[in-house]
Structure 1
């Protein structure tokens, strides 16, 4: 198992059980105490959990600034973004969400012909300036921390858009609460895009799974596919697929330990 994959499994296990002894983790993942300590050290550095004598405790996440999140799970985000871009055909009109994963799609779209990108992400729009891609940015209020634009029907006529494929990000993904986000205005914008798009993909790395945050965007089975990385446990994958949610798992090609 890849080191980063095992660490994601450990994080999911601790998230589920909240407080876990280190010896329990060695038995659960069939690795040495030294290996578990290295993994825990990395996860503690990443502020994913808190260590105490003989064990660890899960730390509930808070929404961080977009600039800080650009480098989190970067190999996974790039792999997911590349897989998303491969679904885009010449001549389509697509929506790119304001998240850090969909932002990574832009270099993989530059060779597409007659493509139109609708976005509420200022970084996405800036990256595509000067390309042969037509860019439409939705009108509304700028959310400074996310470098995004949030809107509603009063400010922007969403019903005028004809979107073939929408690529949506998420802060939380679970069967129970579906796709969720920290910010109400972002969630409302995503709901509107989902309602008018022909096909909807969620781009979310494995750290977002089995997690619910403040605002539900939509149920998990309301989207066509969730694209994620290999950090998901078999139990989580089965939990989603058994409920009819289609997952696409991509490899990051990270070297093993």
Structure 2
């Protein structure tokens, strides 16, 4: 049922406004079944209902403090898996998202580790640890507690990043990874372009979703690390495109 709701949501997202009778024909189910599925999606505020049909609700970005507790078990499991790729002596980039923020407890005992970040919370968490911290220079984005930058403000070419851990608000085959904020997207583009290996750390709710600004196509990502709630159909679609996906089990 949950997987069908995901497919229904994807169909509504693509068409923006859909009649209920269209959904019954598309998914070969009764009107009663469609109404139940629609009611759940309405409760989750993913769609809005009107007489005889539904319309897609475009997602908006929440403040980072609000998002820290959303999908938290999944984010911790993903972050732990990300940290397992980090070796002593590495120079890594940690993005400003709420998933990559959860990597910190799994990194503090690493030897001779350098962390480059645009996340103020990440930098503050590492103060007092033995980890070398470099924070990129630029403009502070208050809602994300992050720093957005460009070549005028920060010389990215001087960085030598072994592994970059990037977050995304949307992930799709067509548009790659996307974000709500242009300046944040530009900073991520810069980091991805100079990093030896790029990991995308994102929970399964971000898949088959595009938001305002494209960051990069999927071909620029080496590995996507996500939780095991990702549907088999989505996994198959992405792996057919040559995308490497690592699924992690969540500790409930």
TM-score range, shorter chain: 0.7 to 0.9
1:39 to partner: Cα distance? 11
Cross-structure match for 1:3 = none
- Pick aligned residue for 1:60 from 54, 58, 61: 58
- Aligned CA RMSD, in angstroms, stands at 2.6
Runs ≥4 in structure 1, deviation > 2 angstroms? 9-12, 36-41, 43-60
CA shift in 2, pair 1:251/1:113, >3 Å:
same
For the Cα contact (< 8 Å) 1:14–1:57, is it kept in 2? no
Give the whole-Å Cα distance in 1 for the aligned partners of 2:56 and 2:5. 8
CA shift in 2, pair 1:11/1:172, >3 Å:
farther
1:222 to partner: Cα distance? 1.1
- Pick aligned residue for 1:13 from 7, 14, 26: 7
CA shift in 2, pair 1:40/1:146, >3 Å:
same
Q: Give the total of aligned pairs.
A: 241
TM-score normalised by L of structure 1: 0.84
Cross-structure match for 1:84 = 82
1:164 to partner: Cα distance? 0.4
CA shift in 2, pair 1:135/1:28, >3 Å:
farther
SS in 1 for 2:196: strand
Q: Which moved more, 1:67-76 or 1:169-178?
A: 67-76
1:218 aligns with 2:216: yes
CA shift in 2, pair 1:136/1:199, >3 Å:
same
For the Cα contact (< 8 Å) 2:176–2:217, is it kept in 1? yes
Give the whole-Å Cα distance in 2 for the aligned partners of 1:83 and 1:59. 32
For the Cα contact (< 8 Å) 2:5–2:37, is it kept in 1? no
Cross-structure match for 1:244 = 242
1:102 aligns with 2:100: yes
Please list the CA deviations of residues 169-192 of structure 1 after superposition, one character each: whole Å capped at 9, or x if unmatched: 001111101011111100110010
1:12 to partner: Cα distance? 2.4
SS in 1 for 2:143: helix
Q: Of the two structures, which has the highest relative contact order with CA contacts closer than 8 Å and spacing of 6 or more?
A: 1
1:57 to partner: Cα distance? 5.5
Cross-structure match for 2:91 = 93
1:75 to partner: Cα distance? 1.2
Unaligned runs of 5+ residues in structure 2 are 13-17
